[in-house]
Amino acid sequence: MNDWIHPMLLESNLAAKLVNADVSNGKLVPIKQPRKLEGTTPEYYGNYGNKDRSAIKYNGRNYWSDNKAATSPYYGGDPENYLGIPYPTYGEDGNVQIDLTNVGSNPLTGAFKYCVTFVSENGWESAPGSLTDYEVEATISGKSPLVTVTWDVTNWGTKDQSISYAKVYRTADNGADFFEVGEIHYNYNSLTQTGSFTTLTDEMPDETLLLQNPLTSQENYPPPDAGKYLCENNGVFFLAQGTLLYFSSVGNPHAWPTTQFLTFDDEITGITPEFMGILVFTRNNVYRVIGADNPETIQKIYIPGNHGCISWRSIAMLNNAPVWLSNDGICLWDGNNISVPSYRVVKTDDLAEKVKWGATSNDRYFLILRRDTIVYDIRNGGIFYKLNMTYDYAWFDDGSGRFFLQDAGGVYLYAGSDENLPIQYSSPYIGGAESGVKIYREVYLTCENTVQFSAFIDGVPLWEEPVSVPGGKQRIKLPLHAVGHWISITLESNDVIRELQVIYG
């Protein structure tokens, strides 16, 4: 299909309009209608995205950012229902309390510091506190400090509870480095539905302390509030917040050092992985970010062309290459250059507010709009056609090899039913140059069953009737007044259309 070029200038193997037709074998073969499935949500099929989320899977776990969230929670996950580990607070009303009057059998004497980290049920460890409040100084003389740590246990026993236990760290006398001295847990009795926190009496001498595990999670802060467009590449996670791009520690989706960010000249409108790093979009520009596994090697590279992203929902991966919608049309990044395959092929004007979702399946990019869907098919030579259907969200499942669609009515399997979608085809203007007048005599049609056949001479309706095609072939003799500069044919059918030929002179 090419609806950009004037129909007078199209070649015969192009359609001015082509809807619901698979052309992989050279014929117009109707695409099957989607089939409604039993499950009503993407989660039922192991997908945790939706029309407002950027969802990823890392090491068998799902994480997402809610890009429309105005208040917390901004993130989620499964089986971990969060992104980032909360850190403790200190002071009179904080999580951490230390009783320096406690007397024990092996008391301590000296100038010490304490800090605490929270650990999730899967072993992810938090920062020891905020940037300005992360330790307690303790001058001790012959006492055994009693450390108490508490946290919210309202949802204890459910996957909503992100804190499993706390680690307590201490320095040696007049030291600077923290080492672990013990753990504090919450013991829950499921029969009585009650529980209590353990405490820690610190009597560890410095000689033993220096042999314990050191504190390594100083920078494991949660992600920034209201981050958008969560994505991951090479174990590094990325989020956008306004004009800032944040990135996590390698291999840890819960650790977001506060100094790890880049600044861009305009608001970030989308992020996607690419071959060596990620692409960061503003509305009018594209940047490549590589080397994020080390803050000292990270690079931000401007890509010329002004092919920014106008809708984050349009971003997808087509045969491992990022594809998206810019002000100039559908764009593709091959690792070196940005191409615009839709240019002078398919109209993409004023689509920013019409985009519902972009997804790929079997080397096809589906740009789902409010009223229809544009398909960019690289398997069959980089062609375009349309589908007269629209959904809110779509995804391809690598495990089953199936393409799913979802809207308020439920979840559907693409082309999964036995019924055909109706093909809609409009030919180019047939007849050559507009300056000459021709007599259009006959149309030969090779197809199956019944076709709604329409013919227009210089834009004036000539024939608009259903045509039965017994035996798969039909000869349509046109009226005597079929004289004009050009003729155009439209066909609508639920069956295969093999050939169309116009006889004129």
Please report, for residues 4, 102, 245, 248, the alpha-carbon distance to residue 355 in angstroms, rounded to integers and kept in the order given. 19, 65, 24, 30
Look at residues 490, 95, 494 and name the one whose alpha carbon lies nearest to residue 502.
490
Question: How does residue 480 score in pLDDT terms, banded at 50, 70 and 90?
Answer: confident
Paired with 325 in beta bridges are 330
Q: What is the pLDDT of residue 158?
A: 60
Q: What is the pLDDT of residue 172?
A: 97
Question: How does residue 501 score in pLDDT terms, banded at 50, 70 and 90?
Answer: very high
Q: What is the pLDDT of residue 345?
A: 97
Q: Is the pLDDT of residue 178 over 60?
A: yes
- Mean pLDDT value across residues 107-126: 95
Q: What is the pLDDT of residue 188?
A: 85
Give the contacts of 207 (CB within 8 A, at least 6 positions apart): none
Q: Is the pLDDT of residue 422 over 70?
A: yes
Q: 295 versus 245: which is more confidently predicted?
A: 245
C-alpha to C-alpha distance for 307 and 286, rounded to whole angstroms: 6
- Mean pLDDT value across residues 419-429: 97
Q: Is the pLDDT of residue 85 over 90?
A: yes
In this prediction the pTM is: 0.93
Q: What is the pLDDT of residue 159?
A: 55
Q: What is the pLDDT of residue 157?
A: 60
Question: How does residue 449 score in pLDDT terms, banded at 50, 70 and 90?
Answer: confident
Question: How does residue 415 score in pLDDT terms, banded at 50, 70 and 90?
Answer: very high
Q: What is the pLDDT of residue 386?
A: 98
The domains of the chain, with CATH numbers, are 7-31+422-504 (2.60.120.260), 59-79+224-303 (no CATH), 96-209 (no CATH)
Q: What is the pLDDT of residue 371?
A: 96
Q: Is the pLDDT of residue 216 over 60?
A: yes
Residue bearing tokens 């002000």: 327
Question: How does residue 182 score in pLDDT terms, banded at 50, 70 and 90?
Answer: very high
CB atoms inside a 10 Å sphere around CB 66: 20
Residue bearing tokens 């990270």: 298
Q: Is the pLDDT of residue 353 over 80?
A: yes
Question: How does residue 471 score in pLDDT terms, banded at 50, 70 and 90?
Answer: confident
Question: How does residue 194 score in pLDDT terms, banded at 50, 70 and 90?
Answer: confident
Q: What is the pLDDT of residue 361?
A: 97
- Mean pLDDT value across residues 195-218: 97
Share of residues in the chain with pLDDT > 90 (%): 88
Question: How does residue 354 score in pLDDT terms, banded at 50, 70 and 90?
Answer: very high
Average pLDDT of the chain to the nearest whole number? 94
360-374 pLDDT, tens digit each: 999 999 999 999 999
Paired with 76 in beta bridges are 64
Cβ atoms 273, 280 nearer than 8 A: no
297-342 pLDDT, tens digit each: 999 999 999 999 999 999 999 999 999 999 999 999 999 999 999 9
Q: Worst-scoring range by mean pLDDT, 58-72, 418-432, 435-449?
A: 435-449
Dihedrals phi, psi of 9, to nearest 5 degrees: -100, 0
140-156 pLDDT, tens digit each: 999 999 999 999 887 76
Residue bearing tokens 């506060």: 258
- Mean pLDDT value across residues 38-42: 96
360-414 pLDDT, tens digit each: 999 999 999 999 999 999 999 999 999 999 999 999 999 999 999 999 999 999 9
Question: How does residue 494 score in pLDDT terms, banded at 50, 70 and 90?
Answer: very high
Q: What is the pLDDT of residue 156?
A: 64
Q: What is the pLDDT of residue 160?
A: 59
Q: What is the pLDDT of residue 348?
A: 94
Q: What is the pLDDT of residue 435?
A: 73
Q: 193 versus 312: which is more confidently predicted?
A: 312
End-to-end CA distance of the chain: 27
In order, the DSSP letters of 141-195 are EEE--EEEE----TTTTSTT----EEEEEEEPTT--SEEEEEEEEEEEETTTTEE
229-245 pLDDT, tens digit each: 999 999 999 999 999 99
Question: How does residue 481 score in pLDDT terms, banded at 50, 70 and 90?
Answer: confident
